[in-house]
Structure 1
């Protein structure tokens, strides 16, 4: 049974309350499995690989390949946990809701607070990277670039990053039009950017030289570990799939399936891109360079035509990440608002478009500010540490929910429980360890502010505190696990 002294919300209560706002206006289940996988790829593949690859290479050298593998392993272990929880509790709150059901309201609020880093701050980071490739594309096609004063943050030669603000506002416009339109746009953009990365690999492998991969680890094991912490940013976003829990058809099946397919495809693609990139060009010439993939294609082909295609793909890819991640942030704030932990405005759904319009515009405007004036490296580190902390908690949630709700219906079960969730926690903490001390200090201050906000606002206004947990009928006994249910999704 759930522990006493904690405000725990039962999974059944979450599901029964999902789908509508406080005024009865509802979300619509319009997203199918293919669109959901494209949504996952759309949320992941973007700034991390198109822009962040060069920073990761600067830390690890050719060993960046191992860095990507370590980051992928962390995501795979945690993806199993997200798959189990997403199928068992198919609501929009993602890790916030899972924590509410297993570790209590205070922990859930802090997870929701940290999700502002994973989704809100990361969308700022993604938007910042968009401008780099937009400038590359403009320079190659029309011979004109956006002036540095309007394309970079203060301290990096600029005054305000206008492209970053523009792409966030465009994403907001599309999101408020309706989830069906957003899903279609994300699917189209996901197909385009995967095709562009496959094209990059094909071009880069034509210039492959094995000698470029030696010495393999010039910065040693420490460099590979630091590179893995940065490479992890390239995988952030797969959990955004679970934020669509109230708008997906057959969510108990499709959410776990989409999470596992997405992370597998992206991990394979990233490893191919890193091998192709470092084989085509010495790592010293790649590390720290903006628009690195375009630089490598120019080197391999001796012309700017290939880099123009790569830049176009990056502009599309990064725009789709802004769209998907902003979507995830609005749905999490909506869940927190329905629980009374955030202002009611975040829970209102437009009866005309079936989208949280005010919520979307607030998110777009608020997070356009750091996108406009904060350097990319500062935003990246804060996003990574917040996401890793959340992933550690999600793995703990699997362990706690198995204990408190053993008969909860689970279409997917984490294989090799409890070893796999514990490895997910260990890998998350290892990558957090590789981040700079200043990032830890900033994160500690951020969490402390979250605790103050919960004590002053959330704890007093919580709906659960005033109504108490709903009485629910006993959960039906779970069917025996089958190979399909333990290692992959499928009907029981």
Structure 2
């Protein structure tokens, strides 16, 4: 493939698969909504709660179609705010971001309050609340939980995405058990009658929809992570629709079981009975339908779900305020990364402070309704922006195109407006929620307009000058049949490692792939990295590529931006069908492991499907005269011999194959290795040493040579160490540069 000399490709590493994106959507959706407000919603709607859930699913689904279209056309972190930013002048974009940010923060405070009420309920049952009321204790614990998560986020501690998946799976299992036992209960005893179906009237139906709408917006989180999704054109819409469908079916099943199987006293209806339990109504359902452990199991699920919701919403809120700070629509301090903690610490802190203030409301119904109202208003703006973008950007390539345009966005706007209008006329909860929203909008107006002149009001926000301008539009085609050597570089001064990789690639007329991984903290979207950081990597790689081309004419260099360096390396091996991975090692040990890329060589060596070379290049000569080869495993012999022969031929070196035997006895196979080396027309010999301590003997002999090459041990040894216990020990103590070789699990695809 012909390419411009010195051209460095910059690519985002996308690590969200369909499964992980789907679990992200489900995990963000199944939270405080079902575990905290379910009892209140049942109380206001009665059996019509089933219809409220179905209608909310349809309303959310209409907006999900818009998000799927825009998310595959503009797959960037920020979601709705960025799309409105693209379509309208600054004030409209600000309003969309301002409302979405508020929605996430209110949803976070709902999670915190839910956690507080669960803890207070448990303590109250044991008589441990003292002078505090349940509501007062709930606020205390909600504040403590929120402050804890804010502190952890401010300090840059990162939650692994796998953790979100595990928590989401746990919530599904717990609710699945509730449904299963509940269906058994309904089959074995009389079912409660769903009469009157509209127990709360049409107003009760709409009130339940508004109260629970916050429990349907998890698909928005998938769009927020759009630039991290693999194959976004297919994955984003599938993950959105599938996660929403799973959630709606699950909610319907839980509601049916609760309304049908719950037993009451004094002739109360099931929905009135559940309403009396308030925030812990789902625990009462579990206590009744799952013998023995139902109550504790659902209480545990509620604690996990509410904490997970708090964590996820704080994460989303801080990302959004960070993006708005970078766009100068919020104070620029919010768009900065803390130099020490490498996190959007100011954005996290401000989002957390607002959540703490919202927690003081203590009324769960008001908080849940305000969260739903904020998202309804934001979704209206996004749908309007979508209609405009479809008309002004008609030729843009789309991965998913919403059918029957503009029918679905118009229906979504209409449905959202109906709910918004209902809340404006609903006395009590609805009007209080509107009051909160109006106050928040007023704060936004006071914050936004004084800093902007009238001319700025009608202008669109300027285009960002950031790393996005450097990103390759799409990956360049790669000739997979070609032998390929991958060299990940943490820094650009290890030219000996680059030369080593180039020699091994050129020997097979293959390609040398140089890669630098720019690690981004989990709390930041990949494109949040500053332009100059990437530019520095490009300059460093360009220098290294120029050096490598003197040894391997076919050299390619890439900067990969992502969250987990070692996972990025492994994915690159799979995507590019890499034959040999060459890693640099500084030498010595840090704990029980060798260090690379800020994580472990052991992790990469154990999981890489290709052949692996790890080299300590300090002191390595450009022209070597003597190479010592030590390999005990027949499985590793051929590959290690080939590497030794290639390096010896490049420098005219002689290879000594070490054969150790106690009392002078010869270990088998050394002569075979010599013959393998000799086939490459390299001078090779067997060096026999009688020894009692293998490690000491090899270390002592290594001081007489320019390079020590060590083949990995047998498979049993590899289960306990990267290359084998003895081999790792020898490498750490060797008195010359060291190269360790390990044969990959799969055969080379070329060469």
Settle same-fold status: TM greater than 0.5: yes
Instruction: Quickly say closer, same or farther: Cα 1:85–1:353, change in 2 above 3 A.
Output: farther
Q: Within 5 Å, which residues of 2 pair with 1:86-235?
A: 86-136=71-121, 143=126, 145-147=128-130, 149=132, 152=135, 158=136, 161-172=139-150, 175=153, 181-208=159-186, 209-235=190-216
1:367 positional shift = 1.4
Q: State how far apart, in whole Å, the 2-side matches of 1:383 and 1:175 are.
A: 22
Is 2:31 the counterpart of 1:42? no
- Aligned position for 1:11: none
Tell me which structure has the larger Cα radius of gyration.
2
1:118 positional shift = 0.8
Does structure 2 conserve the Cα–Cα contact (< 8 Å) formed by 1:151 and 1:163?
no
Instruction: Quickly say closer, same or farther: Cα 1:458–1:255, change in 2 above 3 A.
Output: farther
Runs (5+) with no aligned partner, structure 2: 1-9, 263-269, 474-751
Q: State how far apart, in whole Å, the 2-side matches of 1:462 and 1:160 are.
A: 45
SS class of match (1:91):
coil
Is 2:425 the counterpart of 1:444? no
Q: Within 5 Å, which residues of 2 pair with 1:202-351?
A: 202-208=180-186, 209-281=190-262, 282-290=270-278, 291-301=280-290, 303=292, 305-350=293-338
1:98 positional shift = 0.9
SS class of match (1:213):
coil
Q: State how far apart, in whole Å, the 2-side matches of 1:62 and 1:150 are.
A: 31
Deviations 1:77-123 (A, max 9, x none): 00111111112122222211111111221111111111233111221
Instruction: Quickly say closer, same or farther: Cα 1:366–1:227, change in 2 above 3 A.
Output: closer
- Aligned position for 2:396: 408
Does structure 2 conserve the Cα–Cα contact (< 8 Å) formed by 1:212 and 1:283?
no
1:177 positional shift = 7.0
Deviations 1:239-260 (A, max 9, x none): 1222223444444443333222
Q: State how far apart, in whole Å, the 1-side matches of 2:438 and 2:417 are.
A: 15
Does structure 1 conserve the Cα–Cα contact (< 8 Å) formed by 2:115 and 2:302?
yes
Instruction: Quickly say closer, same or farther: Cα 1:422–1:467, change in 2 above 3 A.
Output: closer
Does structure 1 conserve the Cα–Cα contact (< 8 Å) formed by 2:91 and 2:457?
no
Instruction: Quickly say closer, same or farther: Cα 1:461–1:276, change in 2 above 3 A.
Output: farther
Instruction: Quickly say closer, same or farther: Cα 1:176–1:260, change in 2 above 3 A.
Output: farther
Deviations 1:387-445 (A, max 9, x none): 11111222212211100101122211112221111111111112223322523344334
Q: State how far apart, in whole Å, the 1-side matches of 2:461 and 2:259 are.
A: 58
SS class of match (1:210):
coil
Q: State how far apart, in whole Å, the 1-side matches of 2:371 and 2:115 are.
A: 17
- Aligned position for 1:82: 67
CA RMSD of aligned residues (A): 3.1
Does structure 1 conserve the Cα–Cα contact (< 8 Å) formed by 2:90 and 2:461?
no
Q: Among residues 359, 378, 392, which one is paired with 2:347 in the alignment?
A: 359
Q: State how far apart, in whole Å, the 1-side matches of 2:256 and 2:358 are.
A: 33
Q: State how far apart, in whole Å, the 1-side matches of 2:131 and 2:285 are.
A: 23
Deviations 1:300-335 (A, max 9, x none): 3565x2110011011111111111111111111111
SS class of match (2:77):
coil
1:188 positional shift = 1.0
Name the structure, 1 or 2, with higher relative contact order (CA <8 Å, separation 6+). 1
- Aligned position for 1:59: 44
Does structure 2 conserve the Cα–Cα contact (< 8 Å) formed by 1:78 and 1:421?
yes
SS class of match (2:92):
helix
Moved more, 48-57 or 370-379: 370-379
Instruction: Quickly say closer, same or farther: Cα 1:308–1:40, change in 2 above 3 A.
Output: same
SS class of match (1:416):
coil
Does structure 1 conserve the Cα–Cα contact (< 8 Å) formed by 2:89 and 2:461?
no
Q: State how far apart, in whole Å, the 1-side matches of 2:164 and 2:75 are.
A: 21
Is 2:383 the counterpart of 1:395? yes
Does structure 1 conserve the Cα–Cα contact (< 8 Å) formed by 2:116 and 2:138?
no
SS class of match (1:93):
coil
Deviations 1:433-472 (A, max 9, x none): 3322523344334334323322113568979969955899
Does structure 2 conserve the Cα–Cα contact (< 8 Å) formed by 1:204 and 1:276?
yes
Does structure 2 conserve the Cα–Cα contact (< 8 Å) formed by 1:175 and 1:323?
no
Tell me the TM-score normalized by structure 2: 0.54
Instruction: Quickly say closer, same or farther: Cα 1:168–1:467, change in 2 above 3 A.
Output: closer
1:159 positional shift = 6.8
Does structure 2 conserve the Cα–Cα contact (< 8 Å) formed by 1:174 and 1:181?
no
